[in-house]
């Protein structure tokens, strides 16, 4: 059984984002594996335990620096990595096509994990694009997976915290949410071991993808300014509560 | 004229209030507007959507056994879009809207832009955000069809006037094989009755809440405000509340009119999830917490005393004008 985990190398959530050329960010900030993808890797490795012949392959479309992300994925348990090397940003449609092409070259997936969304673009759409391209079931916000022969019994967490159970036929695409597991952070021996694991590097251009009839492109980026002037609500608890009610009632008009 | 569709999301048959502002915004752009209402009752849809300037409502019929299958809903929606000749499909960037729009866009092979605050169909551009709200972005799109998720609570709802109800037609999609996904059951919801992404008021608790049990104080207060309860990462990591309630970069992004942060220090990651709130009120014992200098109102004090006082006043209605 071959389990692919699609990971994205994204700017650290604590990084200060600066805009360059009005349409892209300064990429020299610290990058990390997208936090949800850590849950995806952990989920894939947990399934490997129950399945003797399973292999976990971490797959990433990114710049050369994304090799660090793949190394972390392997330190967390992936058996090997594939980097589709590019020097550009790709939208979700493009990304899904590239990920599919790379997986197909590698024999195709029996199961695909991704994070439910990436923290830079916040789209959560790539997994559905993969589902459509492969005509495989795709489910997001997955918080529980149990494999049962050729199907996965899963639980998805939806708005307001509602949980829904589905049976999904394999192969399928699953988007990991935080509740799926607690990622185990790599120890020093894990990191050393991961250095010996192989990474294949493909060039995006070598995938020979057909141009897509639709695309999205960021044409302008501007940093958001913080412009609030804090005012103190003074007094005892009772007085503070009164002032909060005044704001709710007269300024926000919600009561 | 461009034919545009808008996905009518309803919760237990009630159209989501955030949609009214979006419909009005699109109407003002001078677009022909078709409402696409999966599985809704025709009479109820016409009544709830009257007077908003919509041209038609298409009730997308669902197979009653498959109505809970998300792929079935998206497949029906995609067929309705093609059948009606819709070139631009809009919806809400709500928790559920994002998924259904992403599925539909994937079936149509159409670009998807989420969290939009402005659209310019002439120039094929939208305004949205990138890097978790740290930057505003103008995104250009191409293709024969496009799909847009509009930011909930951003577009001002109209003053409703009695207007004509739009014509309602029914559309029965061809059956599509969605047997790869089989809905089993919904497990009882443990918390909010109001969706965080659509709430007007959010009461959010952080480290200062101290225990799981204390969150019931926020829920009790929230009931009087029709508010949703959120949490910081610390509170979910401690296991005090479920992950679904986390507001922040690795949680839900929210746009309420009022966000009250109880005992939350206000990390960069937390701000990424709530910085678009209309008014931010912070209550904390530590006057040097980062949130105190990035909010609209702050109070230094014991949050439990203040919640108690607030709940009591809301309960008894003992707050004058």
Which residues of chain A lie closer than 8 angstroms to B297, CB-CB?
230-233, 243-244, 247
Contact, B283 vs B221, CB < 8 A? no
Q: Which of B71, B96, B300 sits opposite A137 (nearest CB)?
A: B71
Distance CA A107, CA A3 (A): 11
> Nearest by CB to A230, which of B184, B197, B292?
B292
Contacts of A242 (CB under 8 A, 6+ apart): B313, B319
* CB within 8 Å: A252 and B278: yes
List chain B residues with CB under 8 Å of A168. 180-182
Across the interface, whether the CB atoms of B142 and A214 are under 8 A apart is answered yes
Spatial contact of A159 and B195, defined as CB atoms under 8 Å apart: yes
What residues of chain B lie within 8 A of the CB of A139, using their CB?
Answer: 70, 181
pLDDT, one tens digit for every residue, chain A (255 residues): 999 999 999 999 888 889 999 888 988 999 999 999 999 999 999 999 998 789 999 999 999 999 999 999 999 999 999 999 999 999 999 999 999 999 999 999 999 999 999 999 989 999 999 999 999 999 999 999 999 989 999 999 887 778 899 999 999 999 999 999 999 889 999 999 999 999 999 999 999 999 999 999 999 999 887 789 999 999 999 999 999 999 999 999 998
In B, which residues are within 8 Å of A123 by CB distance? 102, 112, 114
Q: What is the pLDDT of residue B321?
A: 52
Alpha-helical (H) ranges within A50-207 are 66-75, 92-105, 126-134, 188-194
Determine the residue among A15, A94, A114, A122 to mutate to test chain B binding: the one whose Cβ has the most chain B Cβ atoms within 10 Å.
A122
Q: Which residues of A touch B292 (CB under 8 A)?
A: 230
Instruction: Look at residues A37, A125, A140 and name the one whose alpha carbon lies nearest to residue B181.
Output: A140
Q: What pLDDT score was predicted for residue A188?
A: 95
What DSSP line would sit under A140-174, residue for residue? EEEEEEEEETTEEEEEEE-GGG-EEEEEEESS-EE
Contact residues, A window 99-118, toward B, CB-based 8 Å cutoff:
none
Q: Which CATH superfamily is domain A2-207 in?
A: HUPs (3.40.50.620)
- pTM for the full model? 0.93
Q: How far is B220 from chain A (nearest CA, A)?
A: 15
pLDDT at A254: 92
Please tell me the predicted confidence (pLDDT) of residue A158.
Answer: 81
Nearest to A138 by CA among A172, A111, A165, A110: A172
* Side-chain-side CA neighbours of residue B191 (13 Å): 29
pLDDT per residue as tens digits for the range A111-161:
999 999 999 998 999 999 999 999 999 999 999 999 998 999 999 988 777
Residue B310 to residue A241, Cβ atoms within 8 A: yes
Q: Which residues of A touch B91 (CB under 8 A)?
A: none
Q: How far apart are CA B74 and CA A147, in angstroms?
A: 26
Contact criterion met (CB below 8 Å) for A78 and A113: no
- B246 strand-pairing partners: B231
Which residue spans within A12-122 are E strands per DSSP?
Answer: 19-20, 24-25, 31-33, 55-62, 80-85, 111-115
Contact A159 B71 (CB under 8 A): no
Contact assignment for A231 to B131 by CB distance below 8 Å = no
Domain boundaries, chain A: 2-207
Q: What pairing do the DSSP bridges indicate for beta strands B167-171 and B56-60? A: parallel
Query: pLDDT (tens digit, 0 to 9) for every residue of chain B, 321 residues total?
Result: 579 999 999 988 999 999 999 999 999 999 999 999 999 999 999 999 999 989 999 999 988 778 789 999 999 999 999 999 999 999 999 989 999 999 999 999 999 999 999 999 999 999 999 987 788 999 999 999 999 999 999 998 888 777 888 999 999 999 888 889 999 998 876 566 788 988 999 999 999 999 999 999 999 999 999 999 999 999 999 999 988 899 998 899 999 999 999 999 999 999 999 999 999 999 999 999 999 999 999 999 999 999 999 999 999 887 655
């Amino acid at each position: 059984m071959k389990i692919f985990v699609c990971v994205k190398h994204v700017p650290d959530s604590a990084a200060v984002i600066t805009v360059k050329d009005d349409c892209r960010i300064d990429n020299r900030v610290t990058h990390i594996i997208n936090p949800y993808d850590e849950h995806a890797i952990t989920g894939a490795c947990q399934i490997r335990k129950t399945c003797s012949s399973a292999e976990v392959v971490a797959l990433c479309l990114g710049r050369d620096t994304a090799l660090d992300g793949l190394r972390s994925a392997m330190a967390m348990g992936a058996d090997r990595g594939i980097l589709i090397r590019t020097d550009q940003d790709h939208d979700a449609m493009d990304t899904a096509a590239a990920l599919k092409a790379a997986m197909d070259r590698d024999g195709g997936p029996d199961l695909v994990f991704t994070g439910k969304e990436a923290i830079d673009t916040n789209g959560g759409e790539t997994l559905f694009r993969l589902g459509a391209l492969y005509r495989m079931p795709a489910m997001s916000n997955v918080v529980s997976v149990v494999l049962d022969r050729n199907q996965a019994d899963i639980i998805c967490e939806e708005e307001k915290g509602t949980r829904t159970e589905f049976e999904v036929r394999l192969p399928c695409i699953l988007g990991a949410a935080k509740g799926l597991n607690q990622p185990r952070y790599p120890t020093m021996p894990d990191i050393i071991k991961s250095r010996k694991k192989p990474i294949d590097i493909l060039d995006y251009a070598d995938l020979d993808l057909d141009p897509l009839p639709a695309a999205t492109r960021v044409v302008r980026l501007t940093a958001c300014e913080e412009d609030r002037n804090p005012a103190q609500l003074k007094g005892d608890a009772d007085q503070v509560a009164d002032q909060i009610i005044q704001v709710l009632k007269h300024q926000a008009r919600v009561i | 004229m461009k034919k545009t569709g808008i996905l009518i999301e309803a919760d237990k048959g009630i159209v989501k209030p955030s949609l009214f502002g979006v419909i009005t915004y699109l109407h003002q752009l001078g677009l022909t507007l078709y409402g696409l209402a999966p599985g809704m009752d025709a009479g109820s849809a016409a009544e709830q959507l009257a007077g908003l300037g919509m041209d038609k409502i298409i009730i997308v019929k669902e197979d009653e056994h498959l109505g809970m299958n998300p792929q079935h809903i998206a497949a029906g929606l995609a067929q309705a879009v093609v059948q009606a000749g819709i070139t631009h499909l809009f919806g809400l960037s709500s928790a559920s809207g994002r998924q259904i729009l992403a599925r539909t866009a994937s079936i149509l092979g159409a670009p998807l832009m989420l969290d939009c605050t402005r659209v310019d169909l002439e120039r094929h551009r939208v305004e949205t955000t990138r890097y978790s709200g740290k930057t505003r972005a103008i995104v250009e799109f191409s293709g024969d069809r496009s799909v847009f998720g509009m930011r909930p609570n951003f577009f001002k709802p109209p003053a409703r006037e009695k207007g004509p109800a739009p014509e309602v037609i029914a559309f029965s999609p061809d059956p599509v094989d969605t047997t790869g996904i089989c809905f089993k059951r919904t497990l009882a919801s443990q918390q909010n009755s109001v969706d965080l992404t659509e709430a007007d008021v959010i009461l959010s608790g952080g480290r200062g809440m101290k225990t799981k049990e204390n969150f019931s104080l926020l829920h009790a207060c929230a009931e009087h405000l029709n508010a949703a309860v959120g949490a910081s990462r610390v509170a979910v990591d401690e296991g005090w509340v479920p992950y679904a309630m986390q507001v922040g970069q690795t949680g839900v992004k929210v746009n309420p009119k009022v966000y009250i942060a109880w005992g939350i220090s206000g990390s960069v990651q937390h701000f990424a999830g709530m910085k678009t709130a209309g008014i931010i009120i912070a209550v904390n014992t530590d006057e040097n917490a980062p949130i105190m200098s990035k909010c609209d109102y702050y109070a230094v004090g014991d949050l439990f005393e203040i919640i108690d006082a607030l709940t009591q006043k809301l309960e008894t209605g003992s707050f004058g004008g």
